Structure 1
Amino acid sequence: MSQRTIIQNGKVIFPDKIEENLSIVCEQGKITAIVKPEQVTPSADDRVIDAKGNYVSAGFIDIHTHGGGGHDFMDGTVEAFLGAAETHAKHGTTALLPTTLTSTTEELIKMFATYKEAVKQNKKGAKFIGLHLEGPYFAYNQRGAQDPKYLRNPEPEEYNRILEASDDIVRWSLAPELPGALEFGKVLREKSILTAVAHSDAIYEEVLDTFDAGFTLATHLYSGMSTITRRNAYRYAGVVEASYLIDDMDVEIIADGVHLPKSLLQFVYKFKGPDKTALCTDSMRGAGMPDGESILGSLEKGQKVIIEDGVAKLPDRTAFAGSVATTDRLVRTMVEIAEVPLVEAVRMMTLTPARILKIDQQKGSIQQGKDADFVIFDNNIHVSYTIIEGNVIHNS
């Protein structure tokens, strides 16, 4: 008989409610039963986890992160991947999408091999569930902290080479108004790769056309995207407005309390709702690190940034340069600042990102048959346990 993991004495958060007086039984990395405590008798071989009255949630899923703990995925080393994954696991992340920055094709392809090796060696960190390529196909005026020297338009010769070099790409973010972007989007849709609108100067009509071509997600809503603009004296709605007007468009937000103030967090929640809004860290290497100087991107080719006021900024402080958030902070921000009910804030960090990535049959909620990924935290969203596929990864 294989060892079971049994979680007891917790307030279990389901997608639509919180229940107490339950025991969750896990075997071989899966949830095998959710029953009353008297219906399961632990054996001497079982690992019994006492939640001590704290909340038990499905594991947090971060679909957009560049690193953490002093590591960036663009460092291109296995150590960077593992270090970032371990840092985020301490804060409740059980699965994540390592995300790239604008770079050369050669740098990307080199990183693909590193990713595969990191997947094999990752035993103590959040599980890698695929790669997210952010760029290099962005609008110059919406580049944010992305290095402008690497910006370019999508060309079949280049993106086909990239796609042929890796079967781990599950998401690609780009500006849909660029020449060739519509055709590229159709290629990504044929390969079942999630395509997202990002760092874009598009107007509503352009976004609508590309939504039909497969651009179904808005990358970090409000950050690096157009809003109402004038062209030849006429007003046009931008990407922000399109994200609301297109009912089936999913959005992700950096809910660190800095990138978006309380009013915008509440606006997104009210008009897109928890089922269409995923929380993401968009964290750089400074996540989980003290304030001071840091680097956005690889140690070799990255840009210097400053971490202060709970966010990374460009040295001249003219723009944010990525967040230093962790997933527990995102949930805490939505509950304490945006005043969103805990159940819905957790859903935006679990089931909604799982559904967007089409892995909600395996992850994203506490349900029999799904992966045994859990976070146990208190009323202040301070994490005491992170459990991945039934294994305790973090215990504070």
Structure 2
Amino acid sequence: MILKSNYIYFEDGVKEGYLEIKDKKIANYYSSETEINDYIDYTNYILIPGIFDTHNHGTMGYTLFNNSYEDPESELKGYLKGCAASGVANVFPTADFSMFKSIAKIAKQDIDGSKILGIHSEGPYLNRVGEKGVDVPHPEIDMNHVKEMVKEADGLLKLFAIAPEIEGSQEVVDYLTKQGVKVAFAHSNCNYEEAMEAFKGGISVATHTANVMSGIHHRNMGGLGACLLNPKVNCEVICDGMHINPVMLDVMFKVKEESKWMMISDSTPSAGAPEGCYKMGDFEVTINSEGFCLSETGRLMGSTKSVLYGMSVLVKKLKMPLEEVIRMASLNPCNFYGFGDTKGSIKIGKDCDIAVISNDFEVIATYSEGRKVFDKDTDDCIFNQSFFQKYKVS
């Protein structure tokens, strides 16, 4: 298989020409002057590395939140297809414990969607407070449950998020890091000094940096200040322009070097839902014309935008070079989680994980290890129709 484009974003620069794909890998590159007759023509589209979304709870009407569905494997397959539709070649499903066994099973199969590289557990030991937050009860740490999570994931638990101020959290951090699991600072009311101590204790990731953590004040740098100023911490970031003001994003990127940023969606099942009113638990929410999910008071209710959308925000509003943005969406997380030798960039010898996009950041096709797992022209019914039956307000 050969792909042709005038805009191929290689790890070392942008080139025009042809990519030859063999045995799941990028085998060769040929310049545009080469005479090749049989190829897939993406001449006027852009070839970028397939996105690696390490924080994603659901999309296109599919959820990983609980086991309320009859067929979890079918739900998971729909979710992976939905991820692929947004240019995601690789993903950490951010799932409830009830889904771990199904995820571990599906990860061993060739699915028509994004490839599972691991499991991300955001909690359950979280302290859902933060800037102007109200303290609420949280579950007490149960080491037997933590060990059961590792066992159920069958080697796939790669990221575990925890609030370090919860009593017993250091034992969790010590145990998980010995198991090769990265531990994240999440949903925490720690101040600057407390957060820095947590990082010394082995926490190495900041979950959706700036969101649900104490913010920066000129007399108190807060948890956010610690995340930005600690050079060892790798920071997730939602770049939809709503979770964090683009001006604040600009400040954050100036403080911490580019290689430490990992773009995420943190998306929910509402991602991709059409404009309208929906019932979510005890709340009635509105998906507005821009695709954001808002409460009756206008509060943002979860993430509904893809990493690719966030990339468009950085390129169009902050005028960041696409070359830099794609590293934050692909190579940086691959390097951090140990996949950088084979994934994360377009380079001869690496896996063929590629997103084909338009100038308007629309996904044309997605390839995962050389297989086309999404095609805009043929995959025209991605959204889970049962989502409307469950949640749409008539």
Report the TM-score when normalising by structure 2: 0.86
Q: Distance in 2 between matches of 1:394 and 1:144?
A: 42
64-73 or 22-31, larger mean C-alpha shift = 22-31
Which residue pairs with 2:364 in the alignment?
Answer: 384
Among 47, 54, 57, the alignment partner of 2:45 is 54
Q: For 1:137 and 1:94, how far apart are their aligned partners in 2?
A: 29
Q: Distance in 2 between matches of 1:392 and 1:158?
A: 38
* Match in the other structure for 1:361: 341
Alignment of 1:240-259 (within 5 A): 240-259=224-243
Tell me the alpha carbon deviations over residues 54-110 of structure 1, each in whole angstroms, 9 at most, x when there is no partner: 211110111101111111112431122111211121121111111136xxxxxx1x3
- Equivalent residue number for residue 11 of structure 1: 7
The amino acid across from 1:277 in the alignment is: W
Displacement of 1:210 in angstroms is 2.1
Kindly report which structure 2 residues correspond to 1:73-84, keeping only aligned pairs within 5 A, or say none. Answer: 73-76=64-67, 77-84=72-79
**In the superposition, relative to structure 1, how do residues 313 and 153 fare at CA in structure 2: closer, same or farther (>3 Å)?**
farther
C-alpha distance in 1 between matches for 2:121 and 2:158? 8
2: CA distance, partners of 1:370 / 1:281: 24
Q: Distance in 2 between matches of 1:73 and 1:153?
A: 23
Structure 1 contact 60–327 (Cα < 8 Å) conserved = yes
Q: Residue 35 of structure 1: CA displacement?
A: 3.1
Displaced runs of 4+ in structure 1, greater than 6 A?
143-147
Matched, 1:156 2:143: yes
* In structure 1, distance between residues paired with 2:135 and 2:274: 24
Taking the TM superposition and a 5 Å limit, the aligned residue runs for 1:290-309 are: 290-294=274-278, 305-308=285-288, 309=290
CA contact (8 A) 2:239 2:307 kept: no
Partner of 2:382 in structure 1?
none
Alpha-carbon offset, residue 122 of structure 1: 5.2
Q: Is the 8 A contact 2:119 2:153 kept in 1?
A: no
| Paired residue secondary structure (1:132) | strand
Q: Is the 8 A contact 1:306 1:315 kept in 2?
A: yes
The answer to whether the 8 A contact 2:160-2:183 is kept is yes
Paired position in structure 1 for 2:189: 201
Structure 2 residue ranges without an equivalent (≥5):
377-394
Q: Which moved more, 1:85-94 or 1:63-72?
A: 85-94
Q: Does 1:262 find its partner at 2:249?
A: no
Would you say how many aligned residue pairs link Structure 1 and Structure 2?
370
Cα distance change of structure 1 residues 145 and 320 upon mapping to structure 2, 3 Å threshold: farther
SS at match of 2:346: coil
Q: Quote the residue 1:223 is aligned against.
A: 211
Judged with a 3 Å threshold, the aligned counterparts in structure 2 of structure 1 residues 248 and 239 are, in CA distance, closer, same or farther, namely same
CA distance in 1, matches of 2:94, 2:131: 16
Within 5 Å, which residues of 2 pair with 1:13-52? 13-20=9-16, 22-37=17-32, 48-52=39-43
Q: Write the deviation string for residues 142-191 of structure 1: whole angstroms up to 9, x where unpaired.
A: 49999966x32323233123223222211011111221112211111111
Cα 1:378–1:16 change in 2 (3 A) is: same
CA contact 1:185–1:210 (8 Å) conserved in 2: no
Give the AA of the match of 1:273.
E
CA RMSD of aligned residues (A): 2.7
Q: CA deviation at 1:310?
A: 3.2
Cα pair 2:190 2:222 within 8 Å, conserved: yes
Aligned residue identity for 1:385: A
CA displacement at 1:13 relative to structure 2: 0.9
Quote the offset at 1:343 in angstroms.
0.9
Shift of 1:303: 6.6
CA deviation profile, 1:211-240 (whole Å, cap 9, x unmatched): 22321111111110012479xxxx543210
DSSP 3-state at the match of 1:205:
helix
More deviation in 326-335 or 73-82?
A: 73-82
When normalised by structure 1's length, the TM-score is 0.85
The amino acid that maps onto 1:162 is M
Instruction: Work out whether residues 273 and 287 of structure 2, in 8 Å CA contact, stay in contact via their aligned partners in 1.
Output: no
Displacement after TM superposition at 1:282 (Å): 0.5
- Secondary structure at the counterpart of residue 275 of structure 1: helix
Q: Decide whether the 8 Å contact of 2:129 with 2:213 is kept in 1.
A: no
Structural mapping, 1:22-171, within 5 Å: 22-37=17-32, 48-76=39-67, 77-100=72-95, 108=97, 110-120=98-108, 123-142=111-130, 151-167=138-154, 168-171=156-159
**3-state DSSP of counterpart to 2:145:** helix
Query: In the aligned structure 2, how far is the partner of 1:193 from the partner of 1:334?
Result: 30
Could you say what secondary structure the match of 2:344 adopts?
coil
| Residues 196 and 217 in structure 1, CA contact (< 8 A), matched pair in contact too | yes
Give, in whole Å, the separation in 2 of the partners of 1:157 and 1:229: 39
